[in-house]
Structure 1
Amino acid sequence: MNQFRVERYNETHLKAWNMFVSKAKNATFLFHRDFMDYHKDRFTDCSLLVYKNNKLIAVLPANIKDQVLYSHQGLTYGGIVLEPNTKFKIVFECFKAILKWLYAEDVLTFNIKILPAIYSIIPNDELLYLMFLMNANLYRRDLLSVINLQAPLPFSKSRLEGCKRAKKHQIIIKEEQTFDAFWNTILIPNLSKKHQAKPVHSLEEITLLKTKFPEQIRQFNAYYNGQIVAGTTVFVTDVVAHSQYISGNASKNELGSLDVLHAHLIQTVFKDKLYFDFGTSNENNGKQLNEGLQFWKEGFGARTIIQDFYSLETKNVALLDAVLL
Structure 2
Amino acid sequence: MATDSTTMSVQRYDASHKAAWDALVSTGKNSTFLFHRDYMDYHSDRFNDCSLLIFRAGKLAGLLPANLKADGTLVSHQGLTYGGFVVTRDATVCDVLECFHAALRFLNEQGITQLIYKRVPGFYNTLPDDEVAYALFLIDAQLIRCDTALVVVQSDRLPFQERRRRSIKKAQKANLRVAQDMTYQPYWERVLVPRLVGRYGVKPVHSIEEITLLGARFPENIKQFSVYSNDTILAGCTIYETATVAHAQYIAVTDDGQALGALDFLFGWLIEEGYRAKRYFDFGICNEQEGRTVNLGLLDWKEGFGGRTFAHTFHKISTAAYTKLESVLSHRLNSAEKPIAKLTAAIQKV
> TM tier, shorter chain?
over 0.9
Of 3, 7, 13, the match for 1:9: 13
Q: Displacement, 1:321?
A: 2.4
Query: 1:321, 1:225 → 2: CA distance?
Result: 65
* 1:64 correspondence with 2:62: no
Alignment of 1:1-325 (within 5 A): 2-65=6-69, 66-324=71-329
TM-superposition CA deviations, 1:234-254 (whole Å, max 9, x none) = 000001000000110113332
Give the AA of the match of 1:150: S
Assess if the C-alpha contact under 8 Å between 1:235 and 1:242 holds in 2: yes
Runs of 4+ in 1 over 6 A off after TM superposition: none
Measured against aligned partners, the alpha-carbon deviations of 1:269-298 in whole angstroms (never above 9, x if no partner) come to 111000000000111111111111111111
RMSD: 1.1
Instruction: Please give the secondary structure, in 1, of the residue aligned with 2:193.
Output: helix
Q: Deviation per CA, 1:62-114, whole angstroms, max 9, x where unpaired?
A: 11112111111111111110111111111111100000000011101000000
1:197 aligned counterpart, secondary structure: coil
- 2:72 touches 2:112 (CA, 8 Å); kept in 1? yes
Residue 97 of structure 2 contacts residue 329 of structure 2 at CA under 8 Å; is this kept in 1?
no
Question: What's the offset of the Cα at 1:315?
Answer: 1.9
Larger Rg: 1 or 2?
2
Cα displacement (A) at 1:195: 2.3
Q: Report the Cα distance in structure 1 between the residues aligned to 2:202 and 2:110, rounded to whole angstroms.
A: 36
Alpha-carbon distance between aligned partners in 2 of 1:139 and 1:250, rounded to the nearest angstrom: 37
**What letter is aligned with 2:57?**
N
Aligned-pair CA distance for 1:324: 4.2
Distance in 1 (alpha carbons) for counterparts of 2:11 and 2:59:
12
Q: 1:148·1:274 contact (CA, 8 Å) conserved in 2?
A: yes
Q: Distance in 2 between matches of 1:83 and 1:69?
A: 23
TM-score w.r.t. length of structure 2: 0.91
Q: Distance in 2 between matches of 1:277 and 1:269?
A: 13
Q: Distance in 2 between matches of 1:261 and 1:225?
A: 15
Q: Is the 8 A contact 1:165 1:254 kept in 2?
A: no
- The 8 Å contact of residues 110 and 313 in structure 1, kept in 2 or not, is answered as yes
1:324 and 1:239 mapped to 2: Cα distance?
A: 32
Q: Is the 8 A contact 2:287 2:295 kept in 1?
A: yes
CA contact (8 A) 1:136 1:310 kept: yes
Structure 1 stretches lacking a partner, 5+ long: none
CA distance in 1, matches of 2:47, 2:282: 27
Segment drifting more, 137-146 vs 184-193: 184-193
Conserved? CA contact 1:281–1:293, under 8 Å: yes
Q: Secondary structure at the match of 1:7?
A: strand
Q: What amino acid sits opposite 1:231 in the alignment?
A: G
Q: CA separation in 2, counterparts of 1:23 and 1:127?
A: 18
Q: Distance in 2 between matches of 1:86 and 1:323?
A: 16
Asked whether the 8 Å contact 1:58–1:94 carries over to 2, the reply is yes
**Residue segments in structure 2 that go unaligned for 5+ positions in a row:** 331-350
Deviation at 1:322, TM superposition (A): 2.2
Shift of 1:117: 0.6
Distance (whole Å) between structure 1 residues aligned to residue 240 and residue 190 of structure 2? 21
Amino acid paired to 1:12: S
Letter of the 1:87 counterpart = T
